[in-house]
Structure 1
Amino acid sequence: MPKSTGLSRHQFVALAVPTTIIATSPTFSRACAAIAAAEGERTMTLTPYLLFDGTCHDAMEFYKSVFGGELTSTKVKDSPAKEHMPAFQQEKTINARLRSGTIEISASDWLMLNRPRVPGNTVCLYLSGGTFDELKTLFEKLSQGANVTDPLKEMFFGAYGALNDRFGVRWMFQSNKPA
């Protein structure tokens, strides 16, 4: 069984719940700030991000058996978002990360009640780190002909945005560094 860890900024994107709900949690905001201070500056990284329908834990355990490495996983009930999520989602995985050498996979169960989970939006590329301006430049370029689902903007935890590019590829952007 993977160990459960605290929620990092990188893991925040996996929350995939309306930001307005999470923004009401001052505990979560303080936790993000403390973790960011401990992590220090990070360079930009591109990671595959997988979204499952209640099978994230089993899938990530399987990938660990294939690739080896260290798996961290957090359930909704063990996260700061637990008070803002319905009871039926408490056992779902809010974030999992497998690291094995140069291989890294991030994942969560689908938690967005206001958006349907359909083939094509269950795998995305997660661009994280860097500055807001660096992400903004890439976001604007990828936005050409795209369906922007979450405009890139500064939030209480850093910057976040998401889009489906003109080829149908899902992208999520997140930075801890202010503009």
Structure 2
Amino acid sequence: MPITTTTHLNFRGTAREALDFYQSVFGGRTVAVTYRDAGAVQNETEADWVTWGEVAGDNGFHIMAYDVPSHLPWNQGENPFFVSVRGEDAEEISALWAGLAKGATLVRPLEPAQWSPLYGMLTDRFGVTWVLDVAAPHHS
């Protein structure tokens, strides 16, 4: 039976904005359930925060996110994870890079690397570090 893994991002009050941004870059559909929707409001100022959300596209892109409520500990940390996006088409990867780069901090420019035709890393305006690359052909 096949399984999949999905990156799940944790925010504090910006999950919906982040999901909408990622949907604008990668396409697909966004689903966001708020604490109000779920009947789980513990702090009225957080009622419209996301308790469960995702962006999923027909191209295979899938990311999940939620807002950690204030009564729970949350520390975004420094480099706790990277989200890796790999494709075979340099134009597609370059277009995704251009979308994510809006308001981002460049870690490594998208350019040829020893192991990949294109490789780059950036930290987006939500503090998420993305690694984008073009899969190198494997030779036997």
Task: Please report the TM-score for the alignment, with normalisation by the length of structure 1.
Answer: 0.40
Residue type at the aligned position of 1:87: E
Larger Rg: 2
**Alignment length, in residue pairs?**
82
Unaligned runs of 5+ in 1: 1-41, 126-179
State the distance in 1 between where 2:71 and 2:82 align: 18
Mapped pair 1:107 → 2:58: no
CA deviations on 1:71-122 (whole Å, 9 max, x unpaired) are: 111111011423xx22122111111111112110000112262323231597
Higher relative contact order (CA 8 A, sep 6+): 1
Question: 2:19 — aligned with what?
Answer: 60
Q: How does 1:25-64 map to 2 (within 5 A)?
A: 43-64=2-23
Distance 1:114 1:72, change over 3 A: closer
Task: Please report the TM-score for the alignment, with normalisation by the length of structure 2.
Answer: 0.50
Instruction: Give 3-state SS (helix, strand or coil) of 1:46's partner.
Output: coil
State the distance in 2 between where 1:103 and 1:89 align: 28
Compare the two structures and name the one with the higher strand fraction: 2
Compare the two structures and name the one with the higher helix fraction: 1
Q: Percent identity?
A: 24
State the distance in 2 between where 1:79 and 1:121 align: 31
Unaligned runs of 5+ in 2: 84-140
CA RMSD of superposed structures (Å): 2.6
- The match for 2:52 among 95, 101, 106 is 95
